[in-house]
Structure 1
């Protein structure tokens, strides 16, 4: 089974509610434990963040991302991009 990387960009909406932060972090910890998360972090300007999901295909990545509390609670706009790394440290 081949696994691809998907960059997920999360931008807070005007209706963002900080109570979603801990459920979102728990979601990310669960993905990490399952081997489906490579890295994650917030933007220093407080507008959102990004994370890298490991999945078989875009449909699988979308299913994972759509279970994120940021999405299910409708407090952030999430975009998913298949990410082909060309240079890495």
Structure 2
């Protein structure tokens, strides 16, 4: 059974704009494989978040750690299992 995981992405002082396109390509691959539910940035420029589908927290964390934002140190990622209680 897959669950939803919220990946919080917060920029670090090492953030470099050149990582944005590889990050977008990473998210597109997740979307193409049915692993990405939604994504977006915070309007204050501090980072963003995305929701992925995975079998467990370890799998979701491994997936998020493949993100170029994490691999380059441009952002700190935190992964939370997300149990939706109310949805539109």
- TM class by shorter-chain length? over 0.9
Report the Cα offset of residue 37 of structure 1: 0.3
| Secondary structure of the corresponding residue to residue 70 of structure 2 | helix
Query: Aligned equivalents of 1:9 and 1:62: distance in 2?
Result: 11
Query: Which residue matches 1:14?
Result: 13
Query: Aligned equivalents of 1:35 and 1:3: distance in 2?
Result: 11
Map 1:1-89 onto structure 2 (within 5 A). Answer: 2-89=1-88
TM-score, normalization by structure 2: 0.99
1:63-87 CA distances to partner (integer Å, 9 max, x unpaired)?
Answer: 1001000000011010000000000
Query: Aligned equivalents of 1:66 and 1:14: distance in 2?
Result: 18
Report the number of matched residues: 88
RMSD (Å), alpha carbons: 0.4
TM-score, normalization by structure 1: 0.98
Gaps of 5+ in 1: none
Gaps of 5+ in 2: none
Query: Aligned equivalents of 1:62 and 1:79: distance in 2?
Result: 8
